[in-house]
Amino acid sequence: MASNKNALIRYHTLDKCFRNRTKDWTLEDLMDACSDALYEYEGKYDLVSKRTVQLDIQTMRSEKLGYNAPIEVFQRKFYRYSDSNYSIKNIPVNENDLKVMNDAVQLLKQFKDFSVFQEMNGVLQKLEDSISSVKQKSVIHLDKNERLKGLEFIDILYQSIINRKVICIEYQSFNSRNSITYTVSPQLLKEFNNRWFLVCWCENKMLNLALDRIVTIESSKENYIDKNIDGDSYFEKVIGVTVSNATPQTVIFKVDRTNSPYVITKPFHHSQKTVEKLQDGSHIFEIQVQHNYELERLILGFGKSMTVLAPKELKRSIKRNLKNAMGNYEI
């Protein structure tokens, strides 16, 4: 659990204690109460330290979170609210808070059609009702495709990852007449170009499965294998989603004057560097990536505006693709 979630649980536990006038609360009592609350939530017991509780009290007393809690010490060792009617749950929300909440609701609503967020629909509606005094149209729109096949599997895959469950996936690739069943340990969900992919461990190797090619998903009793994948690290050396064991290459390409600003302001990859600006306004760039399908698609999308200078293998592949494309337009 994230540390800020732990802190929130402690704040609400302390708030409950300070409001309870039937008991005199020492620091040790507050430590025990917080530890019990975290145990109830996490299922494991870790004693909350005295220092942590003291810092929590200090934070609650301050304006940092907007609490300004009237916490007092009496008889030199007991803690309570000096105002018996005070609670951090009763803090008023100002107009600026409402505007911030409204912005957040409008952003979250962009995801409500995805199955993993369906349980949030009721919460979002309650939030909208609560902040109805702030009339503001949505000015944020995220690109999405509700008709994309496979979205119905997002939730079960998400839950399988979170709960570390092995699943059997019947998969129909575009290049095969017959479907194949994989028994996998799902590791990560990845969105790229408005399509969703599952990164999973299967038979001692990583697989990348497109959700729109999944036919069915069934549970399995096999033991889950956690490869402890970090998405940023896993996709660090590629454009897109296709990861291999290939060594990243230095890809050098030239972009014409018209399109160079687009490549400068939206780099192909985090490794992108500007090698040279030419007199005609064009630029030469380089990136360090694996040669994959998505890289070629990106380059081909720029047409005559881009020229691959290195490596030779990539130049040959792009040339072959462009030559085949020209054949489609013979008159």
27-42 and 3-19 are packed helices; what angle lies between their axes, rounded to 10 degrees? 130
Q: Which of 87, 90, 92, 91 is nearest to 16 (CA)?
A: 87
- Centre a 10 Å sphere on the Cβ of residue 15 and count the other Cβ atoms it contains: 20
**Range with the largest mean pLDDT of 42-51, 118-127, 296-305:** 296-305
Rounded mean pLDDT, 312-330: 93
Does the pLDDT of residue 116 top 70, yes or no? no
Does the pLDDT of residue 326 top 80, yes or no? yes
Percent of the chain with pLDDT over 70: 82
What integer pLDDT is reported at residue 42 of this predicted model?
76
CA dist 328 and 331 (Å) reads: 9
DSSP string, 168-214: EEEE--TT-SS-EEEEEEEEEEEEETTEEEEEEEETTEEEEEEGGGE
What integer pLDDT is reported at residue 109 of this predicted model?
61
CATH 3.30.70, applies to 249-327 = yes
Rounded mean pLDDT, 75-96: 84
What integer pLDDT is reported at residue 64 of this predicted model?
82
Does the pLDDT of residue 111 top 90, yes or no? no
CATH 1.10.8, applies to 3-90 = no
User: Which stretch of 60-74, 134-148, 257-271 has the lowest confidence by average pLDDT?
Assistant: 134-148
Between 114 and 75, the more confident residue is 75
Sheet holding 180-192, edge to edge: 205-210, 195-202, 180-192, 167-171, 214-219
Question: For the chain, where do the domains classified as CATH 1.10.10 start and end?
Answer: 3-90
CA dist 126 and 83 (Å) reads: 30
Q: Is-cis flag, bond preceding 311, omega within 30? A: yes
- The upper half-sphere exposure of residue 249, i.e. CA atoms within 13 Å in the direction of its Cβ, equals 17
What integer pLDDT is reported at residue 49 of this predicted model?
93
First to last CA, the chain: 63
CA dist 255 and 261 (Å) reads: 9
What integer pLDDT is reported at residue 114 of this predicted model?
54
* CB-based contact 250:272 (threshold 8 Å): no
- Tell which CATH architecture fits domain 151-234: Roll (2.30)
User: Which stretch of 125-129, 243-247, 278-282 has the lowest confidence by average pLDDT?
Assistant: 125-129
Does the pLDDT of residue 119 top 50, yes or no? yes
pLDDT in tens, 223-276: 999 999 999 999 999 999 999 999 999 999 999 999 999 999 999 999 999 999
Does the pLDDT of residue 13 top 80, yes or no? yes
Q: pTM of the entire structure?
A: 0.63
Does the pLDDT of residue 210 top 60, yes or no? yes
What integer pLDDT is reported at residue 139 of this predicted model?
65
CA dist 23 and 174 (Å) reads: 68
Question: For the chain, where do the domains classified as CATH 3.30.70 start and end?
Answer: 249-327
Question: For the chain, where do the domains classified as CATH 2.30.30.520 start and end?
Answer: 151-234
